[in-house]
Amino acid sequence: MADLTFADGVGRQVDYWLTVWKRTWRSSVVTSFISPLFYVVAMGVLLGGFVDADPAELEGATSYLAFVVPGLIAAHAMQTAVGETTWPVMGMIKWHKVYDSMLATPLEVQHVVGAHLGAVIVRLAATCGVFTVVLVPFGVYESWWGPVLAFGSQVLCGTAFAMVVYGFSTRSKSEEVFNVVFRLGVLPMFLFSGAFFPIANLGDAGAAVARLTPLWHGVNLSRMFALDHVTWWVAGVNVAVLLALCAVGWAWSVSGLRKRLVS
């Protein structure tokens, strides 16, 4: 049998991932939509009502709600991506052996990785898209194109995390390491990468460290587009960093799954 093209290999798994989504979407409603919406209401609306909005101190935002929403959606994209590429990947390798059954067919490693990551990207697009549409009437976007580019940057941010963490998960022997990832990686980035307050408040050293995190690039990109306050060379750097992480993460993911199940 002739080797499958990448598109054919991924396409043959669409039915599987649709079935997975149909059977599990209800369990993800709270974590994907309801909980983040509570964050927006609590932080942006309730707490934001006590914040004296100064655009000079809020990176051009005219309200704390406008400041926090773009960063919060980007941070949620990171959390969703990491959640979808840790325990689920471990389960398909170690517990349910789904990848083994897939690779027993003409499918190859890159097809399996591509389909799984594609499903994660669709999930990211759905989550970020819903929030973008819901929040448009709140006046957090300063231009008609702001929601579109902010949405793209949020999905790109999540994709970068998904590809890197997927590669990490393929090399992990125990699921216990994922608790460390969330506690020492995801949570600190969530709190200190500019989603809730300007990183200038961290001091020069703290701000420099924050700029080294992938999440800051996603948060900064999302916020600049949402507020129509774009420094284009900085935006170019943000995009380049996230795309580089995607490229490295993809190669790491494919090689990791191949070594784990094929080599």
Alpha-carbon span 97 to 195, nearest angstrom? 38
> What pTM was estimated for this model as a whole?
0.92
Q: Is residue 158 part of a domain?
A: yes
Q: 58: which residues sit within 8 A by CB, 6+ positions away?
A: 64, 66, 67, 198
Alpha-carbon span 248 to 232, nearest angstrom? 24
User: pLDDT of the chain along its 263 residues, tens only?
Assistant: 457 899 999 999 999 999 988 887 777 766 666 766 776 777 656 665 656 666 666 777 778 888 888 998 999 999 999 999 999 999 999 999 999 999 999 999 999 999 999 999 999 999 898 888 878 877 788 888 989 999 999 999 999 999 999 999 999 998 899 999 999 999 999 999 999 889 998 999 999 999 999 999 999 999 999 999 899 999 999 999 999 999 999 999 999 999 999 86
Q: Is residue 223 part of a domain?
A: yes
Q: Is residue 1 part of a domain?
A: no
Q: Is residue 35 part of a domain?
A: yes
According to the model, what pLDDT value does residue 64 have?
A: 81
> What is the total count of domains within the chain?
1
Domain that holds residue 229: 6-261
Q: Is residue 207 part of a domain?
A: yes
HEC string for 199-213? HHHHHHHHHHHHHCC
